[in-house]
Amino acid sequence: MILYPFLILVFIGVIYITGLMLLRNSQDLVILWGNSVTIETSTFALVFGLLAAFIVGYFALMVLSWTFSMPRRVAKAREQKRITQAQNQLNSGLVSLVEGHWDQAETALVASVFDSETPLLNYLGAARAAHMKQNYLKRDEYLKAASAYGEEAEIAVAVSQAAMQMESEQIEQARATLIHLRKLSPEHPYPNQLLAKVYLLQEDWKQLAQLVPELVEKNPADIAEYVPYMQRAVIGLFESTAGKQDLPALEAIWKHFPEILQAETYALEAYCKALTNAGGGDLVAPLLEARIDQQPQRELVACYGRIQHRYPEQALAHAKQWQLAMAGDPEYMLCMARLSKQCKDMKASADFYEQALGLVPDKRVYHEFAELLWQIGDIENSARCNRQGLRYCVQGKARPFKRDLQQVTALSEKP
């Protein structure tokens, strides 16, 4: 930029020097044009005339070009004005949308859609405004119009549509939209998360159990987010199948789970409960024994005690191996009480029930202990246990239950 004035001065100087030289050394010229035209001039006048003609011609062409391009420039200016107005309306519509003025937002966004540089954004904003007004028919019309702007637009529209359908509790429609979206973009994380929520709401445990491991595999960092989904899927799947009393189906579900899921405590607990409810709890006993041997866990020990074992004496002997690791645990005491009862050792069972109630009051234990005392003929202690259990259920308060030793002694002395 600094050199431009200098170059202009140099150019003017060159012209001045050239003109001065031509003027000093100018010679007369005679130009013959045919047989009848003769022009007498000088070299200086000729050069000056040619230069002047060039300048005049240049400016004449500029004027002509500007004149003929006038309609195009006017049209372009009008188009730019419409685009600017459309952009201003888009901004105004989005601001109204954020502020919660749904009618103003919809009007502004739709009015500028044909001149907007981002019509997809206009339609999506208008669809959101219509959705907030609960005008779902109009919302779907805007979304349909927006989906015509290419494959990427179709994905964006489907994501927005599914989210709004879930907000309006149109769960079945949202499911269809998300399944279609999953075909278009299987790797898209957000639609898959929404689909998992849909399966959870619809209690479609089979589909949820198939989807969540896939999501965890694609996004290992988000595994904590999917644990509740997987837990509900596993428990729900086993509960729904257990009601059919279909033991092979339950075993097939368990074998279909990956090892990382089989290692979860809640999965094994749900499997055990399902088999027990279906009448096949003894099938899962070896799994529980192996897991508890590795690491004793209260939930699994409780499951082990609820199983109706085919060989209860062996189960009781195996459970005694966990006594050192689980000494003083109420669930272990309850497990031993139930196993002793299966082995017909009522005295030991009653002692374990009493120890369990002494550690933590529980309405189930009150009920089971009272029934056991009734079976062995200890009617008075059974009634006391029932009364104390009822008081605990109503008031939420309990004292450690102790049997009347006179009644126990009297029973032991009977032939």
Average pLDDT over residues 102-123: 85
List pLDDT tens digits, range 280-309: 888 888 999 999 999 889 999 999 999 989
Average pLDDT over residues 147-167: 83
Q: What is the pLDDT of residue 371?
A: 92
Q: What is the pLDDT of residue 336?
A: 94
Q: What is the pLDDT of residue 4?
A: 64
237 or 58: which carries more pLDDT confidence? 237
Q: Which of 79-83, 187-191, 364-368 has the lowest mean pLDDT?
A: 79-83
Q: What is the pLDDT of residue 335?
A: 93
pLDDT band for position 321 (cuts 50, 70, 90): very high
Number of helices and strands in the chain (H, E): 22, 2
Q: Which of 7-11, 258-262, 294-298, 354-358 has the lowest mean pLDDT?
A: 7-11
63 or 1: which carries more pLDDT confidence? 63
Mean pLDDT of the chain: 82
Q: What is the pLDDT of residue 407?
A: 53
**In contact, 412 and 350? CB cutoff 8 Å:** no
Q: What is the pLDDT of residue 212?
A: 83
Q: Distance (Å, rounded) from C-alpha 352 to C-alpha 401?
A: 12
Contact residues for 67 (Cβ-Cβ < 8 A; gap 6+):
none
Q: What is the pLDDT of residue 2?
A: 60
Q: Say yes or no to pLDDT of 314 above 90.
A: yes
Q: Distance (Å, rounded) from C-alpha 43 to C-alpha 81?
A: 54
Q: Say yes or no to pLDDT of 332 above 90.
A: yes
Contact residues for 391 (Cβ-Cβ < 8 A; gap 6+):
397, 398
Question: Strand 37-42 vs strand 28-33: parallel, antiparallel, or unpaired?
Answer: antiparallel
Average pLDDT over residues 25-29: 59
Average pLDDT over residues 63-90: 76
Q: Which residue from 327, 405, 393, 325 is spatially nearest to 361, judged by alpha carbons?
A: 393
Q: What is the pLDDT of residue 27?
A: 58
Q: Say yes or no to pLDDT of 38 above 70.
A: no
Contact residues for 203 (Cβ-Cβ < 8 A; gap 6+):
236
Among 116-120, 213-217, 299-303, which range has the highest average pLDDT? 299-303
Q: Say yes or no to pLDDT of 40 above 70.
A: no
pLDDT band for position 319 (cuts 50, 70, 90): very high
Q: Which residue from 152, 208, 147, 145 is spatially nearest to 175, judged by alpha carbons?
A: 208
pTM to 2 decimal places: 0.66
Contact residues for 379 (Cβ-Cβ < 8 A; gap 6+):
373
List pLDDT tens digits, range 196-212: 899 988 888 888 888 88
Q: What is the pLDDT of residue 413?
A: 47
Q: What are phi and psi of 23, to 5 degrees?
A: -65, -40
Q: Say yes or no to pLDDT of 401 above 60.
A: yes
Q: Say yes or no to pLDDT of 77 above 80.
A: no
Q: What is the pLDDT of residue 281?
A: 80
List pLDDT tens digits, range 123-144: 888 899 999 998 988 998 888 8
What is the share, in percent, of the chain residues with pLDDT greater than 90? 13
Longest dimension (CA), the chain: 164
Q: What is the pLDDT of residue 182?
A: 86
